[in-house]
């Protein structure tokens, strides 16, 4: 303790205290306190910003069309198919991917529609990308950039992510587009966040396990 006093107050002994040393010591302490206060305020601002970000993203994601697709996937009422597009000349045919609705199952789900024109028989792959999978890909990217925590991913989106990822028809579609585009990294963030969120769910009540999980994924990145 005596050595600390001598150091902070620039004194050779406890009876000789330099006034300049006193001022320097107080300035040092004040600077440290301001840094701590600033750090806590910045931490609070980041939490508010993330909460605001999640709220805005949720508004975009939680719409009736997306909920209907999740419901259909949950009850295996969507079937992935491809159809040959014929051009009628020397141009090679192309495959058109889509998801056909199983009417026998969907009729039992009591999906609400505003009018009969909303009753559709299939979704194009673009519908599935834009309304569902693209959002999950974004969530994975946002989590990697620390714009959203894995805790919030799990609390807000895990159910929907896992329903989509566990769907055999979605897996068929992912396999198809990876092969068709010759790009094995298609929807890589979707795969990443589904696995990380599932892992978090298994250890969410154990703080040490969560720390180990975060360390594991940090080393993977």
Rounded average pLDDT over 210-217: 77
First to last CA, the chain: 45
Give the pLDDT of residue 6.
52
Mean predicted confidence (pLDDT) in 65-78: 93
Of the two residues 19 and 178, the one the predictor is more confident about is: 178
Which strands make up the sheet holding 78-85, listed edge to edge?
A: 78-85, 94-101, 122-124
Listed by start position, the domains of the chain span 62-220
Q: Can you read off the two tokens belonging to residue 208?
A: 């040490």
Cβ atoms 176, 80 nearer than 8 A: yes
What is the arithmetic mean of pLDDT over 49-68?
76
Collect all residues with Cβ–Cβ distance below 8 Å to 186 and sequence separation of at least 6.
Answer: 174, 177, 178
Residue 107 has pLDDT above 70, yes or no: yes
As a whole number, mean pLDDT of residues 31-52 equals: 56
CB 173 within 8 A of CB 125: yes
DSSP 202: H
Q: Please say if the pLDDT value at position 85 is more than 90.
A: no
Residue 197's Cβ-count burial label (10 Å; 0-12, 13-18, 19+) is buried
Q: What is the pLDDT of residues 177-207, one digit of tens each?
A: 999 888 889 999 999 999 999 999 988 888 7
CB 122, CB 32: distance < 8 Å: no
| Tens-place pLDDT, residues 138-165 | 999 999 998 898 999 999 999 999 999 9
More confident residue, 176 or 216: 176
pLDDT at 48: 44
Which is more confidently placed, 217 or 7? Answer: 217
Between CA 53 and CA 62, with CA 59 as vertex, the angle to 5 degrees is 125
Eight-class DSSP state of 13: B
């Amino acid at each position: 303790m005596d050595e600390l006093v001598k150091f902070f107050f620039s004194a050779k002994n406890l009876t000789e205290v330099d006034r300049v040393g006193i001022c320097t010591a107080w300035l040092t302490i004040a600077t440290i306190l301001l840094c701590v206060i600033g750090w806590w305020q910045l931490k609070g601002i980041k939490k508010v910003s993330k909460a605001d970000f999640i709220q805005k993203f949720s508004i975009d994601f939680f719409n009736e069309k997306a909920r209907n697709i999740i419901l259909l996937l949950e009850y295996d009422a969507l079937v992935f198919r491809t159809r040959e597009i014929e051009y009628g000349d020397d141009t090679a045919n192309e495959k058109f991917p889509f998801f056909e609705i199983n009417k026998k199952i969907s009729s039992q789900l009591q999906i609400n529609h505003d009018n009969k024109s909303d009753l559709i028989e299939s979704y194009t792959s673009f519908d599935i990308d834009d309304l569902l999978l693209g959002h999950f890909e974004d969530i994975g990217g946002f989590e990697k950039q620390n714009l959203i925590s894995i805790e919030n991913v799990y609390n807000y989106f895990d159910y929907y992510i896992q329903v989509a990822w566990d769907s055999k028809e979605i897996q068929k579609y992912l396999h198809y587009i990876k092969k068709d585009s010759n790009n094995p990294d298609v929807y890589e963030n979707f795969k990443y966040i589904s696995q990380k969120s599932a892992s978090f769910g298994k250890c969410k009540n154990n703080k040490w396990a969560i720390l180990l999980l975060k360390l594991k994924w940090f080393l993977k990145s």
